[in-house]
Amino acid sequence: MRFTKMQGAGNDYVYVDCFHETLPMPPNELSIQLSRPHFGIGSDGLILIEPCEGAHARMRIFNKDGSEGEMCGNGIRCAAKYLYDSGIAPSEQLDIMTGNGIRRVWVNVSAGKAVSARVDMGEPCFEPARIPVNSDTNTVVLELCGKKLKFFCLNTGNPHAVTFDCFPEGEEFALLGRAAETHSVFPQDANVSFAKVTGREEIHARIWERGSGPTLACGSGATATMVAARFQGLVGDRAYVDLPGGRLLIEYDADTNHVFMTGDCVEVFTGDWKNQ
């Protein structure tokens, strides 16, 4: 099976072109095998690029634990790069179906290759039942590992919980992230952002990704973090979100209530995986 390894802001996935390749096993099992370092390729998960009526392609995301996600902001930029660079869809404006609906992506091209992309992340959802969160409001206070933290909850393609109450490192980040991800208040678990605002257009964030754990970057998480900061009056309508793997520009359009994310998309290598 031919694959391509790509990353956006350090968020890396193994991509399989299902226009031309056939999977050797169910995708959830394949994601687990491919994502393992040392024994597999090593990645944050598996992304399938499939034919889709009504869009240039469909993107399916499988986390490293085999669970299927709805949307990945970094992943869709790289999927757009693959579609453009491979000639499957050589357009600088692409419509890609996700588990959360069609997302439009504009690729920025240099020397005939897509090098970055801007994604319409859609409208953020604040309704508790649709995030989903077991609460009457989208703000919850959780006691985690002896700390009381306030989380602003929303869905930006995936369920997210964002806190500005602490910015943990190392083992504390892992303990708090794991505890928040699987808390009973989140019926479908959640991606968890720990963030701090350092300027009117500058946010630093560390994100614990649902089904994958600590990640160098999470596009929908960066989007959720900026939106949470914006709706609490901490930033304006645009801000850079600095993540361990890189920087993403997030812009909120108040006229349409849509959020746009811009960042890099990089091919790391291609190869053939043999089922053993």
pLDDT in tens, 130-186: 999 999 999 999 999 999 999 999 999 999 999 999 999 999 999 999 999 999 999
Residue 22 has pLDDT above 90, yes or no: yes
Is 72 considered catalytic here? yes
- Active-site choice (72, 78, 153, 265): 72
275 pLDDT tier (thresholds 50, 70, 90): confident
| Cross-strand partners of 240 | 202, 249
Is 18 considered catalytic here? no
Most distant pair of Cα atoms in the chain: their distance: 53
Instruction: At 250, list the tokens.
Output: 């997030």
Share of residues in the chain with pLDDT > 90 (%): 98
Kindly report each contact of residues 137-140 with a partner whose C-beta sits within 8 Å and lies 24 or more positions away, as own/partner. 140/185
- The reported pLDDT for the residue numbered 106 is 98
276 pLDDT tier (thresholds 50, 70, 90): low
Mean pLDDT for the stretch of residues 180-204? 97
- The reported pLDDT for the residue numbered 23 is 96
- Active-site choice (78, 125, 153, 218): 218
Domains, the chain: 2-121+263-269 (3.10.310.10), 128-259 (3.10.310.10)
- CA dist 46 and 151 (Å) reads 29
pLDDT tens column, 55-85: 999 999 999 999 999 999 999 999 999 999 9
- CA dist 244 and 263 (Å) reads 14
Residue 15: phi, psi to the nearest 5? Answer: -105, 135
